[in-house]
Structures are given as structure tokens and as C-alpha cells.
A and B are shown apart, each in its own frame.
Chain A
Amino acid sequence: DAGITQSPRYKITETGRQVTLMCHQTWSHSYMFWYRQDLGHGLRLIYYSAAADITDKGEVPDGYVVSRSKTENFPLTLESATRSQTSVYFCASSAGLYNEGQFFGPGTRLTVL
């Protein structure tokens, strides 16, 4: 199916565990982004990528790791999950410098116990 998908959609994990959230897009967009959404904070950028093998930190990168070996995939890893990382995570992609806006995935709701 065309578009941007995220998996899993829901995840419950425990403090200290490693968790990887997956993001896949079929448009061959150059740019991909990870955001977290928390009440009262709107969306905050965690990491972004301008192309395969090019990633950079956003506003709240601590505790997260990303990689982008292929253009279509942009996984986000929480190396040692903490309760403060309980959130809804959104992946997004765009073809260029926001000429058409960003396309968002459906989100992953992560709960860290």
C-alpha cells in the first residue's frame, strides 16, 4: 500500500527495555522525521533525516537513536526506555523543503511502565 506506515501501533514496555519503532514510506521522499506528541507540548521533533545515511538531532533527541540505511525506512530506537518516554510517536516524510507539507503516519502509542 502506498503511503507512510508505522509499527507497532501500540506498545507497552517496561523501564530499561530497548524498543524500536518502525516507519516505512513508499513515496521515496528524501526527508523523514520523528516527533513525539504529549499533552500541552504539541509535537516536538526528535530526529530527522535529509537522505539515507544522513540524520540529525531535533529538539528532544536524548534517549533516542535513529538510523536510515534505506530511503524508505527510518526506525527510532529507545535504547533504555524511561517513563518520561511514554508518548505518541509520529513519523513523517516530505519530498522537499516543505513545498507540499509533511505526510504523517498514523502514530505509535507507547507506554513505558
Chain B
Amino acid sequence: SQQGEEDPQALSIQEGENATMNCSYKTSINNLQWYRQNSGRGLVHLILIRSNEREKHSGRLRVTLDTSKKSSSLLITASRAADTASYFCATDSNDYKLSFGAGTTVTVRA
């Protein structure tokens, strides 16, 4: 069963705007990861945040983690057309198996 659930399911924004998507999960985790999937391609790892971290940055990406609410958010700043993709959160509990959500589809309009 899916551990993570992304919200919203789909997001459409104008180029240059920020995109925010959220992930909620059910059980305690060791870490949470975000992946990007371009249409017809495999997933690409974006960022990993550990359970003892609250915020992490990587380029235009900002990830937050609130373990008390069992939720995470991914912010993409100054979006570009190339950011058009599906974004998945994945949680790692007490073993090395990842549990993925159903994803958020982001469309960046030129």
C-alpha cells in the first residue's frame, strides 16, 4: 500500500512562478525523498531529507519535513518549462524499501 500521498494531483503554473506540492505519509520514517519523472522516462532522484532534518535546499528546490504532522513539501522556485514533469515523494521506513505516492503532475506554461 502507498505510504505517501501527494497533493495536489495536478498543478499548472506560469513560467517564473513557484510550484509547491505536498506529501503526507502514515507511519514513522527514516528519510523522505523526492523524485521527478519526465514523460516516458524513468524517475530521477532530486533530494533526500532525513527524519531529523526540517529543511533542505538544492538549487531551486526547497524541501521541508514536519514529522509531527507526517508531511513534507517540495517548493520549486522560478519554474521553467523544463520543470514540467511528475513529482513523487517516497518514504523509507525501517527497511530499505521505498514506498512511493501517486505523484503530482506539474505543467509549466510558457
Enumerate chain A interface residues (CB-CB to B < 8 A): 31, 33, 35, 40-45, 48, 50, 58-59, 90, 92, 94, 97-107
Q: Would you call B31 an interface residue if the criterion is a C-beta within 8 Å of the partner chain's C-beta atoms?
A: yes
Classify chain B: how many residues form its interface, as a range.
Answer: 20 to 34
The reply to whether A101 and B97 form a contact with Cβ atoms under 8 Å apart is no
Q: Separation in Å of the B3 CB from the closest CB of chain A? A: 10
Provide the B18-41 mask, 1 if CB < 8 A to any CB of A, else 0: 000000000000110101000011
Residues of B within 8 A of A44 (CB): 100
Q: Which 7 A-B pairs have the closest CB atoms?
A: A101-B45, A104-B42, A43-B100, A42-B102, A104-B43, A42-B100, A97-B96
| Contacting residue for A58 out of B30, B42, B45, B97, CB 8 A | B97
Knowing A98-B31, A98-B48, A101-B33 touch, does A40 contact B102 (C-beta < 8 A)?
yes
The reply to whether B45 and A102 form a contact with Cβ atoms under 8 Å apart is yes
Q: Separation in Å of the A80 CB from the closest CB of chain B? A: 26
Closest Cβ neighbor of A107 among chain B residues: B42
A102 CA / B97 CA spacing, docked (Å) = 10
| Contacting residue for B97 out of A48, A90, A105, CB 8 A | A48
Knowing A103-B45, A104-B42 touch, does A45 contact B98 (C-beta < 8 A)?
yes
The reply to whether A42 and B88 form a contact with Cβ atoms under 8 Å apart is yes
The reply to whether A43 and B43 form a contact with Cβ atoms under 8 Å apart is yes
Residues of B within 8 A of A97 (CB): 92, 96
A103 CA / B99 CA spacing, docked (Å) = 15
A35 CA / B30 CA spacing, docked (Å) = 21
Q: Which of B15-74 contact A (CB under 8 A)?
A: 30-31, 33, 35, 40-45, 48
| Contacting residue for A98 out of B44, B92, B102, B103, CB 8 A | B92
Q: Separation in Å of the A96 CB from the closest CB of chain B? A: 8
| Contacting residue for A104 out of B44, B48, B99, CB 8 A | B44
Closest Cβ neighbor of A4 among chain B residues: B42
Q: Separation in Å of the A60 CB from the closest CB of chain B? A: 10
Q: Separation in Å of the A12 CB from the closest CB of chain B? A: 17
Residues of B within 8 A of A101 (CB): 33, 35, 45, 48
